[in-house]
Amino acid sequence: MTAIDQYAVFGSPIKHSKSPRIHKLFAEQTQQTLIYASQEVNAEQFANAVSCFFSAGGKGLNCTLPLKELAWAYADIRTERAELSKAVNTLALQSDGRILGDNTDGLGLLTDLKINHEVNLKNKNILILGAGGASRGIILPILEQSVISIVIANRTIDKAVTLANEFAHKGMIKGCGYNDLDDQRFDLIINATSTSLSDEIPPLPENILSKNGICYDLAYSNKPTSFVNWGKKNKALKSLDGLGMLVEQAAEAFFIWRGIRPITSSIIELLNSERF
Q: Mark the segment that binds ligand NAP (CB under 6 A) among 2-10, 91-99, 239-247, 258-266.
A: 239-247
In the chain, beta strands by DSSP E? 5-11, 34-40, 60-63, 77-78, 90-93, 99-102, 125-129, 149-153, 173-176, 186-191, 209-217, 238-240
The least distance separating ligand NAP from the CB of residue 86, rounded to whole angstroms, comes to 11
Q: Mark the segment that binds ligand NAP (CB under 6 A) among 46-54, 91-99, 141-149, 154-162.
A: 154-162
Tell me whether residue 86 is one of the annotated catalytic residues.
no
Q: Annotate each residue in 89-128 with x if it binds ligand NAP (CB under 6 A) or - if it does not, as one string.
A: ----------------x--x--------------------
Q: Contact, 148 vs 125, CB < 8 A? A: yes
Which of 15, 59, 68, 211 is catalytic? The answer is 68
Q: How far apart are CA 156 and CA 150, in angstroms?
A: 17
Number of Cβ within 10 Å of residue 97's Cβ equals 8
| 65 touches ligand NAP (CB under 6 A) | yes
Among 187, 242, 262, 264, binds ligand NAP (CB under 6 A): 242
The least distance separating ligand NAP from the CB of residue 191, rounded to whole angstroms, comes to 8
Eight-class DSSP state of 47: H
The least distance separating ligand NAP from the CB of residue 2, rounded to whole angstroms, comes to 32
Q: How far apart are CA 63 and CA 128, in angstroms?
A: 22
What are the strands of the beta sheet with 186-191, ordered from one edge? 173-176, 149-153, 125-129, 186-191, 209-217, 238-240
| Binding residues among 174-233 for ligand NAP as defined by CB under 6 A | 192-197, 200, 202, 218-220
Q: How far apart are CA 101 and CA 231, in angstroms?
A: 34
The least distance separating ligand NAP from the CB of residue 62, rounded to whole angstroms, comes to 10
Residue nearest to ligand NAP (CB): 132
Query: What residues are annotated to the active site?
Result: 68
